Amino acid sequence: MAEELKGTTVAFLVAQKGTEQVELTEPWKSVEACGGKPVLISTESGTVQAFDHLDRADTFPVDVRLEDARVPDYDALVLPGGVANPDFLRTSEPAVRFVRSFFDAGKPVAAICHAPWTLIEADVVRGRTLTSYPSVRTDIINAGGTWIDEGVVTCRDGDNTLITSRKPDDLAAFNAALVAEVAQFAHTGVG
């Protein structure tokens, strides 16, 4: 397992504030543990402020500013949740374009908790089955998606793979699906 993602680079897109820390750090550790390289991308340079629910947690250094990030440099995209993080990202046209570009390129995308808000804004939910934090259910349905209440949902649609999860309690399943799909993409070129 330690080499499953060797040679892969996974983008983690977050806003400057509001990311649920564990939804950033646990998938990050899984990518690293399997030999992949996680890269933190944000709308501004410097650091991002993570949260443990509503309490400030740690800060993390930004590796690449969004305006300098290029989709061809990454094998997959992870969208951590929290409430404020995806709410800010969905109002950022560069962030929305970046997310949509991963689908256009047929690369795997993984989103947890409230992160499907950014997917909705990128207009990539229609016709897909996914899960999220329960309060995002109606938004997904209104955007043309099918919402199901499961710990992790992997939706394969043509060349695209979308991995979604509900909340931090589902991180083990989310991380396993993320690693499996990125490894498959790295070996076959099909997301």
Residue 24 CA: distances (Å) to CA of 78, 81, 123, 148: 9, 8, 23, 23
- φ/ψ (deg, to 5) at 128: -110, 155
Specify the length of the chain in residues. Answer: 191
Active site residues: 113-114
Helix, strand or coil for residue 103? helix
Integer Cα distance of 75 and 108 in angstroms: 7
Residue 27 contacts residue 176 (beta carbons within 8 Å): no
